[in-house]
Chain A
Amino acid sequence: MVKLTKKYPIVYKDKDLVFPLTEEGFSGEVYPAVDAEYAEFDTYEEAKAFVDDKGLSYKEPSYEDVGE
């Protein structure tokens, strides 16, 4: 089990971030799922460059159906 503790953790599956990257960063702990890839950074700039380089993005989960 991996534990991420740096201020800017990145967890992603394919091109999708599991949670968004924010400039505020985090102060807690993150344990990535075994089928996820991950990285962690001390600065937002480094984290943002990583996200951009990998072409990662965050999408809010959507459960809607086509309909009225």
Chain B
Amino acid sequence: MEKCFITKLSGTVDNDSLPVYGKMTVSCPKTGSIAHNVYLSFAKGTQIEVVGDGYFTDSSGSSTGKTADYTIIGSITTYYLSDAVTALRMDKYSLVSISPQYTNGYSSMTIDLDDLKYDSNIKSVRGGLKGSINNLKGSMVTLQNTEGTSVTGDLATFLNENPNVTIIDLPSCTGITGTIRAVNSGMTQFNVMNNANVSGDVSVFKDCASLVSWNANNGNFSGDISAFANKTGLKSLSLLNNKNITGDISTLASDTAIQGINVSLTGVTGDITNIVANCTDLKSLYIPTGVTITEEQKTTLTGRGCTVGVDIAV
């Protein structure tokens, strides 16, 4: 090794755009009329800073300054932001969960997953994601992309490396790839719609008894639809345009809470007699021409407030 000389000079800078050791910056400009709040959780006490304009407020909108403390370790704390805030800086090694306002819709937030590569505490990430999901290893529970489609990575690897994942929400993110061979049996939501780069046999979801919604519209999944039977909490199942999904639609009659079924443009067959009898909360039913439906059944369903579609690409 060549000789080198390292020195350290005291000095300060006031350039907010420079990276800070151990910190990450997330962009969070206010959009629309949704409240400009951020939910954060950390594995230790820490401080969050506003970068640039704006300030933290209390719930009534009064300023509380440019920094805010995180003190109740393990809790999800709501941070209220003034309208002018566009970015926050926070500890990137102890971050447990991060999310913009989402109870009444989503506000804007961009999170670079590359910043979280060495965060062994991270469990939940919601927001506009960029970077690779494969930076997140070990303890992830929730991964939800709420805006943009620039996130990348191998979903199968992510699921293998994060065995406790319960929510995957990556709609239209075609940079996400992989053939899924195993999922957590506690999975509740799975959404990879409009992405044919994710594939797999749906039988891996057979033991997911807590499933609430599953959406791979315009995807590349295969297997028998009976994998989604006996899911008493399942409300929405969308398999539109997955040509290699087959099986008897009547197996879904055991999903008594279901509100939406979309198996249009699939290879699913059978008749809906038992579904009409058991699934009384249905609000939408989209089926391929291979499924038998009578005029009487159409009248019964539409009369209950259920819109029916035959062979349509909804």
Q: Could you list which residues of chain A lie within 8 angstroms of chain B, going by C-beta atoms? A: 1-2, 11, 18-20, 22, 24, 26-36, 60-61, 63-64, 66-68
The segment from B82-90, B268-276, B300-308 found at the interface with A is: B300-308
Q: Are A1 and B310 in contact (CB under 8 A)?
A: no
Apart from the given pairs A30-B310, A31-B309, A68-B41, 5 other A-B contacts in the complex at a CB distance below 8 Å:
A60-B215, A61-B259, A66-B102, A68-B76, A68-B141
Closest Cβ–Cβ distance, residue A24 to chain B (whole Å):
6
Closest Cβ–Cβ distance, residue A42 to chain B (whole Å):
16
Among B289-314, those with CB < 8 Å from A are 295, 298-299, 301-314
Bound Cα distance from A17 to B259, whole angstroms? 15
Q: Are A64 and B167 in contact (CB under 8 A)?
A: yes
Bound Cα distance from A67 to B41, whole angstroms? 11
Q: Are B189 and A29 in contact (CB under 8 A)?
A: no
Q: Kindly list chain B residues whose C-beta atoms are within 8 Å of the C-beta of A19.
A: 284, 307, 309, 314
7 closest A-B pairs by CB: A28-B311, A28-B312, A19-B314, A31-B308, A26-B312, A33-B305, A29-B310
Bound Cα distance from A1 to B215, whole angstroms? 29
Q: Could you list which residues of chain B lie within 8 angstroms of chain A, going by C-beta atoms? A: 41, 76, 96-97, 102-103, 123-124, 141-142, 167, 171, 189, 212-213, 215, 235-236, 259-260, 264, 283-284, 295, 298-299, 301-314
Closest Cβ–Cβ distance, residue B112 to chain A (whole Å):
21
Report if A1-B314 is in contact (Cβ < 8 Å); known contacts: A28-B264, A68-B97.
Answer: no
Which of these, B259, B283, B305, B309, contacts A29 with CB under 8 Å?
B309
Q: Kindly list chain A residues whose C-beta atoms are within 8 Å of the C-beta of B306.
A: 33
Which of these, A11, A31, A60, contacts B298 with CB under 8 Å?
A31
Q: Are A18 and B298 in contact (CB under 8 A)?
A: no
Closest Cβ–Cβ distance, residue B232 to chain A (whole Å):
14
Closest Cβ–Cβ distance, residue B51 to chain A (whole Å):
25
Closest Cβ–Cβ distance, residue B165 to chain A (whole Å):
12
Bound Cα distance from A19 to B238, whole angstroms? 12
Q: Kindly list chain A residues whose C-beta atoms are within 8 Å of the C-beta of B236.
A: 61, 63
- Return 12 A-B CB contacts under 8 Å, by A number: A1-B303, A20-B314, A28-B309, A30-B307, A31-B302, A31-B308, A32-B302, A33-B283, A33-B307, A36-B305, A36-B307, A68-B41
Q: Kindly list chain A residues whose C-beta atoms are within 8 Å of the C-beta of B299.
A: 1
Q: Kindly list chain A residues whose C-beta atoms are within 8 Å of the C-beta of B212.
A: 63
- In the complex formed, the residue of B with least CB distance to A38 is B307
Report if A28-B310 is in contact (Cβ < 8 Å); known contacts: A1-B299, A61-B259, A64-B189.
Answer: yes
Bound Cα distance from A24 to B240, whole angstroms? 15
Q: Kindly list chain A residues whose C-beta atoms are within 8 Å of the C-beta of B103.
A: 66
Bound Cα distance from A62 to B156, whole angstroms? 24
Closest Cβ–Cβ distance, residue B200 to chain A (whole Å):
22
Which of these, A20, A27, A32, A67, contacts B307 with CB under 8 Å?
A32
Q: Kindly list chain A residues whose C-beta atoms are within 8 Å of the C-beta of B312.
A: 26-30
Q: Are A63 and B141 in contact (CB under 8 A)?
A: no
Closest Cβ–Cβ distance, residue B162 to chain A (whole Å):
14
Q: Kindly list chain B residues whose C-beta atoms are within 8 Å of the C-beta of A31.
A: 298, 301-302, 307-309
